[in-house]
Amino acid sequence: MPAADSNRRVVVTGVGVVTPLGSSKESLWNALQSGQSGVGELKLIDSTNLPTPYGAEAKQFTGSIDDFGPLDSDRKKAIRKGLKVMCREIQMGVAAAQLAMTDAGLEPGGYDNDRTGIVYGSDYIMTLPGEFLDGVKNCLDAEGRFEFDRWAHDGLPKVTPLWLLKYLPNMPASHIAIYNDMRGPNNSITLREASPNLAVAEAYSTIARGSADAIIAGATGTRVHSLRSIHVVLQEPIANGSDDPTKLSRPFDRHRTGLVLGEGAGAIMLEELESAKARGASILGEVVGYGSSTVTNRLGEPQTDVALRNVMEQALRTSGLSVDEIGHVHAHGLSTKQCDSAEAAAIQRTFANRKSPVPVTAAKSYFGNLGAGSGMVEIVASLLAMQHGELFPILNYEEPDADCPINAAKAGSSPGDSFINVNISPQGQAGAIAMRAFA
């Protein structure tokens, strides 16, 4: 449902993050404002067989119950018990959601359980190989060779019965709903980097059409994983060539070499305006439009520029905002040659009729690619920029690239009163969200 046709306005009343720049909105903003990078030496995984020893890990997140924010005794007990059936990605996602609830001032008993729900985005969540170690060992012959025909009888029984629950992509939304007794609409979106914007779009549409009054929209992801990192290396260009890891992620810069591996999660509390006002909630911004588009050629190759232009134009159309009313674009900013040049072309075409070039920023320059978690953290970053009245620059943007004709944001410049956040997957699925300051 386009925003312009809806009488129900949807606002953001709380945010929560787990990032390489910290696990609070304050630490995130302080890092962005001071130009602090979250990229460093990888500690969570063995990088011996990777082309880089560097990545952006959420170092403050340990998976302990304290990472989930202040909780009443019942929720604390339930979450602590559930940690054993959550992989790190899911733990980060649940933590971000709980932090968003706390930031919004929502506690059990303070909302209509049947009209409060969750929409959560994720990557496809990969199992850690160690889950199968005992089973594999039990299927080796005398020479140490794996015997496939023994797996069902000798191997599988050695796998922990609940292992799959640790990795199902619908589990973040499931856990959050159970711990907070949210019985409203519940959905999971697994479209990689496009997931966060589409999760917000789904949550926004659900509230706008009257099917819910409040929804937590979030996303979690990782590229720091003993198996997933290998997948990324095989599929996408990885940043290299710098002795200083903080210089590796450099979206739109002429000397960019590839993406940086990262991990993290973000969540925002969305509420129908009148419900939020009735409980005296602080309003951080308003969702006003969205876009979704997948574009490939006949060979199945992604057409990044077309997909990104489609979603930005859709976000403008559904929000009713003109190109001159957009304060800034929060770019996908992957820091690869091909993706950045395609994105820059899409931004240039979309805003060609703007009176002045639209400012562009990219938080991935600070923390790399968090997978599905990136876009949600970027949304939070832009909301904070509007709240503080200043935009953060693209870190490491030192030499413009003729193939990336963007108006890179400068430190302290105005974020404007609205923004569009865009993200795209390597397969050509793009998503966009338009938000504005509440008035």
- Provide DSSP, 216-229: EEEEEEES-STTHH
Residue 232 CA, chain-centre distance (Å), reads 17
Q: 367 in a domain, yes or no? A: yes
- Its domain, for residue 160, covers 138-164
- CATH number for the domain including 319? 3.40.47.10
Give the pLDDT confidence score for residue 7 in this predicted structure: 85
User: Does 131 fall in a domain?
Assistant: no
Render 285-344 in DSSP notation, one character per residue. Answer: EEEEEEEEEE-B-TTS-B-HHHHHHHHHHHHHHHHT--GGG--EEE------HHHHHHHH
Judge contact between 407 and 260, C-beta under 8 A: no
Flag whether 207 is in a domain: yes
Output the tens digit of pLDDT for each of the chain's 439 residues. 444 446 899 999 999 999 999 999 999 999 999 999 999 999 999 999 899 999 999 999 999 999 999 999 999 999 999 999 999 999 999 999 999 999 999 998 999 999 999 999 999 999 998 999 999 999 999 999 999 999 999 999 999 988 999 999 999 999 999 999 999 999 999 999 999 999 999 999 999 999 999 999 999 999 999 989 988 999 899 998 778 999 999 999 999 999 999 999 999 999 999 999 999 999 999 999 999 999 999 999 999 999 999 999 999 999 999 999 999 999 999 999 999 999 999 999 999 999 999 999 999 999 999 999 999 999 999 999 999 999 999 999 999 999 999 999 999 999 999 999 999 999 999 999 999 999 8
Q: Examine residue 146 and state whether it is found in any structural domain, yes or no.
A: yes
If asked whether residues 240 and 313 sit together in one domain, one would say yes
Same domain for 272 and 299, yes or no, is: yes
Single residue among 117, 148, 164 that ends a domain in this structure: 164
DSSP assignment string, 173-201: HHHHHHHHT--S-EEEE--GGGHHHHHHH
Instruction: Indicate if 119 and 250 belong to the same structural domain.
Output: yes
d(CA 181, CA 183): 6
User: Is 74 contained in some domain?
Assistant: yes
Does residue 373 share a domain with residue 231? yes
The pLDDT, as a whole number, for residue 4 is: 45
Q: What is the pLDDT of residue 6?
A: 60
The verdict on residue 3 lying in a domain is: no
Clarify whether residues 370 and 312 are in a common domain. yes
DSSP string for 102-160: HHHT--TTSS-GGGEEEEEEE-PPPPPGGGGHHHHHTTB-TTS-B-GGGIIIIIGGGS-
pLDDT for position 256: 96
Taking CB atoms within 8 Å and a gap of at least 24, the contacts of 4-9 are 4/318, 4/319, 4/320, 6/208, 6/209, 8/207, 8/208, 8/209, 8/210, 8/272, 8/273, 9/272, 9/273, 9/286
* Same domain (yes/no): 255, 399: yes
Same domain, 160 and 43: no
Instruction: Let me know whether 112 and 152 are in one domain.
Output: no
pLDDT value of position 242: 74
149 lies in the same domain as 179: no
Q: Which long-range contacts (CB under 8 A, 24 or more apart) does 71-77 make?
A: 71/98, 72/107, 72/108, 74/108, 75/108, 75/179, 75/180
* Within a domain: 2: no
In this structure, the answer to whether residues 276 and 424 fall within a common structural domain is yes
What's the rounded Cα separation, in Å, for the pair 166 and 172?
10
pTM of the model: 0.96
pLDDT at 143: 95
Domain presence at residue 11: no
How far does Cα 316 stand from its chain's mean position?
A: 21
Both 228 and 150 in a single domain? no
Overall number of domains in the chain:
2
* Same domain (yes/no): 153, 241: no
Supply the pLDDT for residue 291.
Answer: 98
